[in-house]
Amino acid sequence: MTAKVGLRAAAADDYAFALAIYVETIKPYTVACMEWIDAEQTARFARLWMPAEVRVITAHGADVGWLQASETGPEIFLKQMYVAPAHQRRGIGSEILRRLLDRWEITKKPVCSACSGTIRRAGCTNASDLSSPARPTRNS
């Protein structure tokens, strides 16, 4: 059963929370491929952090993750999406993504993402071609 989930606008004081989840979720995968240097990764995160594009993911009133998306003129781009490991595999990310896709479908803009694996896990097909104007179809 999916937790009661939602999104809220990020504030400046969400930076430390978002950075902690980013490090917790990305570092184990990154160190398998390359050297992780905390100062470099923190600086990179700071350059990419844009609170106006960030929404904090909540479940039962608690902050459990975050995502960053932007709407440019011709497209919507899901840049990043993270759910804290302690809250993964509960359908939280999938539910948030379904809601976003429903909302974005109205715009008729293509949805592009660096998170295609996340989109596939949410039950969407054709995620390898998110730049097409048609919204990915869902498995029933």
Q: Measured in Å, how far apart are the chain's first and last C-alpha atoms?
A: 17
Select from 3.40.50.620, 3.40.190.10, 3.40.630.30, 1.10.3470.10 the CATH code of 5-129. Answer: 3.40.630.30
pLDDT tens column, 24-34: 999 999 999 99
* pTM over 0.85, yes/no: no
pLDDT tens column, 65-89: 999 999 888 899 999 999 999 999 9
Tokens, residue 94 = 């999938």
Distances (CA, A) of 108 to 50, 72, 94: 25, 13, 21
Listed by start position, the domains of the chain span: 5-129
